[in-house]
Amino acid sequence: MSGLRLMAVHAHPDDESSKGAATMARYSAEGHEVLVVTLTGGERGDILNPAMDVPGIRERMSEVRQEEMAEAARILGVRQQWLGFVDSGLPEGDPKPPLPEGCFAAIPLDEPVRRLVQSVREFRPHVMTTYDENGGYPHPDHIRCHEVSVAAYEAAADPDFHPELGEPWAVSKLYYSHGFIRKRLELFREEYERRGEPFPMEQWLNKWRTEQGDIMGRVTTQITCGDYFPKRDDALRAHATQIDPNGSFFAVPLDIQQKVWPTEEFELAKTRVSTELPETDLFAGIEDGQGK
C-alpha cells in the first residue's frame, strides 16, 4: 500500500460508474485506498433498462439499487459508504414541480455537510472528487452534491467545526470530474470517418449546442486509464435498472475508445499542496503516506 487515499463523492448509485470509474479502478489496482461515498439511495431513479422493467423491481427499488451498488463496487475494487439521504428525483415540466419534502436537495445544507465531514475525518483522504457547480448536469442532487462536497472539504480541516465528529483532517486536493466533453465525441467521429463507417452517436453529437462551449477548457488533469475501461463498463452494467446495455454508454467499441481517448478528465478546484498543471496524476504533489 502506498498510504494514499481517494474519496469520490457521488449523488446516486451508478454515478460512480459513469464518472471517473476507470480512474478509481486504476488507483485501486495500484494499491491505493478508494472510497465511494454515495449521498442518496437513488430511490426515485427511473427504470431505464427495459429488461429490468418487470414485476417486483420497482416495488423494491431501494434494495435493488443497494445490490447493484455492491456489485459495482466489487468490480471496481473500491469500498463504498451510504450517507443515507433520500433521492430528490429529477423534476420535469414547465414550471417544474417543487422538490419532494425531506429529499436531499430540499433539506438544510448543515446535516449532509456534517455527515460528510465525519466520513472525511474517519477515512482521511488525500484527494476528493465531486461535481462542478453545475453538477455535471443540472440534477438538483448533483448540484447539492457539489455544495456539500466543497463545504465539507473546508469544514473537515476546521478544528472548531463539530469537534465531536473526529480529529480535523485537511484534504490535500479537491477535483471536479468532467465527462461530457464534445472534443472526445468529435475525435471518435473522425475515427469512424477514417474507417468509412457511420458514427453511431452522430445524432447525439448534432444535438450538442455549440454555444454551450466545451468543458475541456476547464480540465487540468487527465488520467490514463484505458486499460480499466472494461471494468468501468462492467460496473455500469451492474446498475441494471439504470443502465441499458444497448444504450449510448456502449455505442463506441472499447478498442476505439482506448485508441482515441484513453483518459478520464478532472479539474483541480482546490489544493493545499503545490503542483504543476497540467497533471497526469490526482496525487501529484502529495508524497507517499503524507498526513498518515
Which cell is 281 given? Answer: 496524476
Q: Where are the beta strands (DSSP E) in the chain?
A: 5-10, 33-40, 79-85, 127-130, 173-178, 221-224, 263-271
Cis peptide upstream of residue 112 (ω within 30 degrees of 0): no
Separation CA 84–CA 46 (nearest Å) = 19
Annotated binding-site residue numbers = 12, 15, 142
Annotated binding-site residue numbers for Zn(2+) = 12, 15, 142
Helix/strand/coil for 225: coil
Long-range contacts of 164-171 (CB under 8 A, 24+ apart): 165/114, 165/117, 165/118, 165/121, 166/118, 166/121, 166/122, 167/121, 168/121, 169/120, 169/121, 169/124, 169/291, 170/272, 170/291, 171/7, 171/120, 171/125, 171/126, 171/127, 171/128, 171/272
